[in-house]
Amino acid sequence: MNSDPSRSYLDPAVLNRVKSLELKARMVVEGFISGLHKSPYNGYSVEFAAYREYVPGDEVKHIDWKRWARADKLYIKQYEEETNMSCSILFDCSRSMAYGQEEEGGSKFDYAATLSASLAYLLQSQQDAVGLVTFDTEIRKRIPAGSHPNQLRQIVHHLAETEPSQETDVSDVFRSLANSMKQRGLVVVVSDCFVDLDTLETSLRQFQFKGHDVMLCHVMHEHELSFPFTENTRFRGMEQHQEIMTEPRALRRSYLAAVERFLTEVRRVCSKHDVDYLKLSTADPLEAALAGYMAFRQNRGRK
């Protein structure tokens, strides 16, 4: 699979060198698709489209048994997909997302933007309605969900234009996000979740209450997960106005333990409110994110 050159575009380090977000998104999605089996890509609807040979991994319920009786081979019935699914991507532009701008692997913001664009592209290509909400301390811009071909361009354009905010506290807006989502559907939240966990839980509960299917793409920078620093460093808080002078190696164990506790807690909160949780490191290929999304779709589809 790795021999396919398009697969390399899933590597964030490669993607980071591509400027155009739209191009990035296309490369990601197509790279992703080219590596996938065909079955999950097409939708399942009432209008028959074509037969396709069964491959392991297809659901048995879609096998056309009559056709099997005739041809002695297993075929899957494929249908023209129709959807009225609406998916909103809630994109966190807070200051903490800017971490990593000067690092080689890029910032969390860049990673999250590429991810959001890729998702939008994937959704668009499936004729789903896709929308985008960017927020920091307040909702900055809202692009309502739509399946118009121009929709993707708007989203990508907006993501490309957006810069991480100087604002830090996103707790209030987190809480009010659910209220702003009028239409019921899928909600993909892309954030580093550096908010108060109670706030996160409250807003997730509200999403659940409103009947949204929510997926949380928890974007963490690789540095935040591994803390690889060795030299004496003065850490300056991006959201808190505090500084620490320390030898990072001395604090690594405790720091990693604290991060692990935080991740566990976030995962617990998500699980509690039936939110699909996907932890992403900026070093992870975006494939994981997209695969996660696909699984999410399938899970929700089965319900």
Partner 1 sequence: MGFISAALLGGTALIAVPIIIHLLSKRQQKLRDWAAMSFLLEAHAQNRRRVRLEDLLLLLLRCLIVALIALLVSRPFWEPKGGAALLDQGMPSEWILLLDDSPSMAAQDGNSSSLGQAKRTLLTWLDRLETEQRGDSLTLITTSRPQMPLAKGVYIQSAEFTQLKQELEALSVSDHPAELDEAFSSLRKLMQEEGGNLNRNLLLVSDFREVDWVDGAAELSASGSWQMLEELAEEADEAWLLDVGSPVSNLSVEDLRALNRQVLAGIPHPYTVRVANWGEAAVSDVQLSVQVEGASPLFMEISEIAAGERATALFYHTVEEAGSVALEVEIDQDSLGMDNLRYASVPVKENIPLLLVNGEPDLNEAKQETFFLRKALSPPGSIVSGYQVEEVELAQWVELDFAKYDLVILSNLFRLTESQIAQLKAFVQEGGGLIWYLGDQVDPEHYNQKLLKEGLMPFALELPLGNELKEEWVTFVLEDETHPVLEWFSGTRNPFLDRVKFFQWWGMDPAKPGAAESPKVIAAFSDPASSPAVVEHRLGSGRILTFSSSADLEWNHWPAEPSYVVSVLEAAAHTARMDLRQHQLLVGEPLLRSLPSRRYSGRASLLKPQHPEAIQLQALVDQQSGNIPIRYTDTDLKGIYTLNVETLYGEEEAEHIAVNLDPGEGNLTYTGAETLIAQQGEGSGLQIFDRNDARESSEERGGRIELWRWILLFLLVSLGLEFFAAWYLGRSREVPA
Which parts of this chain interact with partner 1 (CB under 8 A)?
95-99, 108, 192, 194, 221, 224, 226-229, 231-240, 242, 244-247, 249-259, 262
Closest approach, Cβ 253 to partner 1, in A, equals 8
Cα 117 to Cα 58, 101, 190: the distances in Å are: 28, 18, 11
* Closest to partner 1 by CB, 44 or 229: 229
Residue count (the chain): 303
Our CB check for partner 1 shows the closer of 63 and 256 to be 256
CB of 278 to partner 1, least distance (A): 19
Q: Which of residues 256 and 291 has its CB atom nearest to partner 1 in the complex?
A: 256
CB of 206 to partner 1, least distance (A): 24
**Under a CB-based contact definition with an 8 Å cutoff, are residues 182 and 207 in contact?**
no
SS (H, E, C) 33-49: HHCCCCCCCCCCCCEEE
Nearer to partner 1, 247 or 274 (CB): 247
At closest approach, how far in Å is the CB of 135 from partner 1? 17
In whole angstroms, how close is the CB of 170 to partner 1 at the nearest point? 12
Q: Which is nearer to partner 1, 84 or 230 (CB)?
A: 230
User: Residue 143 CA to chain centroid, in angstroms?
Assistant: 17
Q: What value, to the nearest 5°, has the Cα angle with vertex 267 and ends 10 and 179?
A: 90
Going by the DSSP 8-state scheme, the letter that residue 283 receives in this structure is: T
Q: Are 41 and 140 in contact (CB under 8 A)?
A: no
Residue 83's CB is within 10 A of a number of other CB atoms, namely 14
